[in-house]
Amino acid sequence: MAIMSFITVSLLFSLGLFTVLTRRNAFKTVIGLTLMESAVLLLLISWAYIPDGWAPILPLKGGGVDPLLHAFTLTAIVIGACDLALAFAFIMKLNKFERTVDVDVFRRLKG
Amino acid sequence: MIPVLRFLGGICIFAGVFFSFAAVVAILRFPDVYTRLHGGTKALSGGAVLILLGALPYAGGYPGAIKLLLIAVFFLISNPMASHAIARACHRRSLAERALERKRGERG
Amino acid sequence: MSEPLLAFFYFFILVTAFVAVFLEDLLSSFIALSVTGVLMATVFALLRAPDVALTQAIINSGLVTSLLLVAYSQTRRTPLPSEECPECPFWLQWPSAALVCTLFAVFLFRGLYSLACVRELGSAPAHFLANTLEETGALNVVAAILLDYRAFDTLGETTVIFTAVSGISLLLAGGRYVHSGRGLSFVVKRGMALLTPFILLYAASILFLGHLTPGGGFQGGSVFATVAILICVVYGTSFEAARISPKTKETLESGGALLFIVVGLSGAAWGTGFLANLSGPFLPGTPGSLFSGGNMLLLNLAVGLKVGAGLSSIFYAMIKILELEGDSWQS
């Protein structure tokens, strides 16, 4: 079962990377960033799963899953949302200056 | 008693899935934004409530069952409200009239 | 966990991700991204991670999608760039990127495959699962890790939120606030008036019971921010600004950070250390009651204040009207 999640994680991450590399619209770049972060979250949670484990709320009815990776994933979700919001603010401000959301125009900005 | 309830719950879930599928077909196949909203909202509200009611025998005791009922009530209040907001926004901007004019212009 | 069910969800996550990437209509790709987030939340719930599923559903599928739609509506009037690039040779466009990404995926999978083994708990997670009740007095192990064992990381995370809010307020500083009193129609206003107290109660229960049930400061604060966004949309921004002005939001956010630091310093003043919990001046209480877990209740409140006020400040800053009168770099 871990193999299934590894395949999904690799495909999802490379899909996000492909979007960031090839698309000209800045919003598509943000979508690719979101997909890459989602792939990492999926890897963490699927790695934390122990077969026949219970959710980490005491009292446990049997074995438990790994709670440390869940804490890391919570932090990663919140920080991901914050950096996405900052990316939106960048896009909005650059759009007001350049009147476009083209990443190639953004890349040619100097000074 | 419990297996009979679970069987009835299964039938409710199947009916709910059928209604949700009908909502998807309505959104894809109807010609206009208002008809799509109408078919989608009605079928989706009924389908989701049926699924939640069908999950009641599987909830494992009264606390879970009351939570499912509360979710169903919340969904029944908020989903038609959201569709009303969308339809009113479409009406304010005359989206359907403009789409009809565009279609008439294309047909020549 | 049944493997066909998980395989079904993984396949659908990939399908919706594909749709989100390759669809030309931006609004539809945003909705597809939100659906990917919801499917991932379902997978997290199936993999026995209720805390993470709740956070993913609220923050990634709810808040990030609404901020994305706000940013899109602010940039809607400019023309969309086309994906063709005439001066670039064809082999350098998407084929080489596809080749690089495929190679990357293959090597990533090979690297992960070599890690695959029979999973068993490491020493630190096993210690957390076994000793949380005695050492912290809380029932939610993930909340105990976030607010007691690794509370310093949570302080760093609130600093990241503060940095993001400051950066966004700085970037969007030149605009004027929207003062619209209209809002949506009467039906929606009445319906929201019926629902809002219950949503607020739900947010408070997630926040304050975070050390007993899945939830905590981040999730509760995000739901509070969602209520602020809803009131802004449904009743108009002047209604919302009259109730909770931007100054109040700033004060609440700073108050949350200060509460966190004061609680930590009280542990240091007791003599044990910064952010000390049960070995500091805080009482464990009876496990399972509201006032248990030492300082975790106060820390949850601090984090919830910061996240809620910060995220609603972000929304309020992003809906500003950014006017640049004749001040463009492209003259």
Please report, for chain A, the start and end positions of each structural domain, with discontinuous segments joined by +: 2-105
Residue B88 Cα distances to B43, B91, C74, C185, angstroms: 20, 5, 21, 8
C288 touches B: beta carbon within 8 Å? no
At C310, is the secondary structure helix, strand, or coil?
Answer: helix
For residue C326, what pLDDT is reported? 42
Is domain A2-105 given the CATH code 1.10.287.3510 in the classification? yes
Q: Determine whether the interchain pair C185/B77 forms a contact, defined as Cβ–Cβ distance below 8 Å.
A: no
| Residue of A75, A86, A104 with shortest CB distance to C164 | A86
Q: Where are the domains of chain B?
A: 2-107
> Mind listing the pLDDT tens digit for each residue in C212-232?
989 888 999 999 999 999 888
Contacts of B87 in chain C (CB under 8 A): none
Q: Is residue C322 very low, low, confident or very high in pLDDT (cuts 50, 70, 90)?
A: low
Q: What is the pLDDT of residue C304?
A: 93
Tens digits of residue pLDDT in A13-66? 999 999 998 888 899 999 999 999 999 999 999 988 888 888 888 888 878 888
Interface probe for C, chosen from B27, B81, B90, B95 (most Cβ of C below 10 Å), is B81
* Residue entry with tokens 């930590």: C264
Query: In this complex, how many residue pairs, one in chain A and one in chain C, have their CB atoms less than 8 Å apart?
Result: 286
Arithmetic mean of pLDDT over chain C: 86
* Partner C contacted by A62 (CB < 8 A): no
Residue linked to tokens 């809620």: C308
Task: For residue A92, list chain C residues with Cβ-Cβ distance below 8 A.
Answer: 71, 74-75, 171-172, 318, 322
| Nearest CA-CA distance, residue A8 and chain C, Å | 6
Distance (Å, whole) CA C147 – CA C292: 13
**Interface mutation target, options A12, A78, A84, A103, chain C, most CBs of C under 10 Å:** A78
Pick among A68, A95, A98, A107 to test the C interface (most C CBs inside 10 A): A68
User: How many of the other CB atoms lie within 10 Å of CB of C238?
Assistant: 16
Inform me whether the C-beta atom of residue C198 falls under 8 Å from chain B C-beta atoms.
yes
Task: List, for residues C63-87, the tens digit of each pLDDT value.
Answer: 999 999 989 988 887 777 777 777 7
Report whether pLDDT(C327) > 50. no
Q: Do B77 and C194 touch (CB under 8 A)?
A: yes
Contact C51, A72 (CB under 8 A): no
Residue of chain C nearest A71, judged by CA positions: C142
- Which ipTM did the prediction report? 0.93
List, as own/partner pairs, every contact residues C223-227 make where C-beta atoms lie below 8 angstroms and the sequence separation is at least 24, other chains included.
Answer: C223/C58, C223/C199, C224/C200, C224/C304, C224/C308, C224/C312, C225/C63, C225/C307, C225/C308, C225/C309, C225/C310, C225/C311, C225/C312, C225/C315, C226/C58, C226/C62, C226/C63, C226/C66, C226/C199, C227/C196, C227/C199, C227/C200, C227/C203
Residue with more model confidence, A102 or C328: A102
What is the predicted pLDDT for the residue at B108?
54
Contacts of C316 (CB under 8 A, 6+ apart): C177, C232, C237, C241, C246, C249
Distance between CA B83 and CA B89 in Å, rounded? 10
Residues from chain B that touch C192, judged by Cβ atoms under 8 A, are: 81
- The minimal CB distance from A35 to the residues C17, C106, C113 is found for C17
Match domain B2-107 to its CATH number in 1.10.287, 2.60.40, 1.25.40, 1.20.58: 1.10.287
Nearest chain C CA: its distance from B74 CA (Å): 8
Minimal CA separation from B86 to chain C, in Å: 10
Which chain B residue has its CA at the smallest distance from C198's CA? B74
Measure the CA–CA gap between C103 and C99, rounded to whole angstroms: 6
A2 interaction partners in chain C (CB closer than 8 Å): 116, 119
For helices B95-107 and B33-54, what crossing angle results, to 10°?
A: 130
Q: Does pLDDT of C24 surpass 90?
A: no
- Residue B22 and residue B84 in contact, taking contact as beta carbons nearer than 8 Å: no
Question: What are φ and ψ of residue A25, in 5° steps?
Answer: -75, 135
Q: What is the pTM of this model?
A: 0.90
Q: How far apart are CA C63 and CA C34, in angstroms?
A: 10
H-state helical runs in chain C: 3-22, 26-46, 50-55, 64-74, 94-113, 123-136, 141-144, 151-171, 186-208, 217-235, 237-243, 246-270, 296-318
